[in-house]
């Protein structure tokens, strides 16, 4: 069963790669895009990584990833222009379908969670199965054609632009940091500031460390490994804190950092792009006050609950 779902996961990667290949083709054919060659090469490169990443030699994959950076570094990437849908048409369709528009989106969560709980081996590929179910539901509810589905997927991929690559790169960066022993370095640095046996200072350092490192890396999971090894274990858990409670609160504290950083592109930059907000950092700006409250709450909860 596990082998089947691993193969299914690779199938979903290939599907994503094919979509990116289509985006590369559409971008190359877009005469209005002044940087269509560089942009098309970017999507082609990313499509190859998704489709053949498992069989490509590590060196080749590394070169392809570096090429993505080179294209953006020399500003050879440009998001395509799309004809906006008229507001009247959007309002008419919203009234026609009502709350049914939420069904495909909600199905992503329901199907993926239900499948992962029923068949634990499917946890990695459950979201892919849910996405296919969501697409089918959307096509049935809105009576859309496969062609429309592919075109709208292309539009959203292009709207995300280079920000869509950040989650994968940041996750890889976290693994590199952990392997490089960054946690040990941080532990030695913090050791000079945290008084021995002071639980409150240890908790504050752990929570703020998760917030700051997540903000830097844009990924709470990547930060968790490094900060827990460097701060959480020696200054909180070794002082008598419950590892389960402290660890859970540390991870959610990291999400506070996610709310404050453009590095968490999938949370803070993509919505601004998709909603065509004038201020790219408008989402972050609105989240700052509640984030500060949540950080204080995490410190209090960890101090009084974990010990």
Last residue of one domain, picked from the residues 160, 195, 221:
160
181 and 275 part of one domain: yes
pLDDT at 144: 87
Confidence of residue 13 (pLDDT cuts 50, 70, 90): very high
57 and 91 part of one domain: no
What are 304's two structure tokens?
């009084």
137 and 190 part of one domain: no
Tens digit of each residue's pLDDT (9 = 90 or more) over 113-167: 999 889 988 888 999 999 999 999 999 998 888 998 998 899 888 888 887 787 7
* pTM for this entry: 0.76
Of all residues in the chain, what percent carry a pLDDT higher than 90? 49
For the chain, percent helix, then strand, then coil, each to nearest 5? 80, 0, 20
Average pLDDT, the chain: 88
Domain coverage including residue 288 = 165-306
Decide if 253 contacts 207 (C-beta within 8 A): yes
pLDDT at 71: 94
Residue 126 lies in a domain: yes
Buried b (16+ CB within 10 A) or exposed e, 183-205: beebbeebeeebeeeebeebbbb
In the chain, what is the straight-line distance between the N-terminal and C-terminal CA atoms, in Å? 41
CA 65 vs. chain centroid, Å, equals: 17
Spatial CA neighbour of 43 closest among 62, 16, 61, 75: 16
Number of domains in the chain: 3
Residue 123 lies in a domain: yes
What number is the average pLDDT over the span 9-15? 94
190 and 288 part of one domain: yes
Tens digit of each residue's pLDDT (9 = 90 or more) over 34-80: 999 999 999 999 999 999 999 999 999 999 999 999 999 999 998 87
105 and 188 part of one domain: no
How far is residue 51's CA from residue 37's CA, in Å, rounded to a whole number?
A: 21
188 and 203 part of one domain: yes
Of all residues in the chain, what percent carry a pLDDT higher than 70? 97
193 and 301 part of one domain: yes
What number is the average pLDDT over the span 262-281? 76
């Amino acid at each position: 069963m596990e082998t089947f779902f691993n193969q299914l996961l690779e199938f979903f990667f290939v599907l994503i790669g094919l979509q990116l290949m289509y985006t590369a083709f559409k971008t190359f054919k877009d005469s209005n895009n002044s940087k269509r060659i560089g942009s098309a090469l970017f999507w082609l490169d990313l499509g190859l990584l998704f489709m053949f990443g498992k069989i490509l030699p590590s060196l080749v994959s590394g070169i392809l990833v570096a090429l993505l950076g080179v294209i953006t570094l020399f500003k050879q990437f440009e998001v395509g222009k799309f004809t906006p849908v008229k507001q009247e048409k959007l309002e008419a369709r919203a009234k026609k379908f009502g709350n049914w528009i939420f069904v495909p989106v909600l199905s992503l969560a329901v199907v993926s969670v239900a499948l992962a709980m029923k068949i634990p081996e499917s946890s990695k590929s459950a979201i892919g199965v849910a996405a296919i179910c969501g697409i089918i539901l959307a096509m049935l509810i809105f009576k859309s054609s496969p062609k429309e589905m592919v075109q709208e997927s292309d539009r959203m991929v292009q709207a995300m632009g280079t920000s869509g690559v950040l989650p994968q790169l940041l996750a890889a960066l976290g693994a590199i940091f952990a392997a490089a022993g960054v946690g040990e370095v941080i532990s030695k640095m913090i050791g000079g500031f945290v008084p021995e046996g002071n639980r409150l200072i240890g908790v504050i350092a752990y929570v703020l460390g998760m917030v700051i490192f997540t903000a830097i890396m844009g990924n709470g999971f990547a930060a968790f490994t490094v900060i827990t090894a460097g701060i959480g274990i020696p200054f909180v858990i070794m002082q008598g804190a419950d590892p389960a409670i402290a660890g859970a609160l540390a991870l959610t504290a990291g999400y506070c950092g996610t709310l404050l950083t453009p590095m968490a592109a999938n949370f803070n930059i993509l919505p601004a792009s998709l909603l065509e907000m004038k201020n790219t950092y408008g989402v972050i700006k609105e989240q700052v006050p509640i984030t500060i409250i949540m950080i204080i709450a995490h410190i209090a909860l960890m101090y009084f609950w974990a010990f």
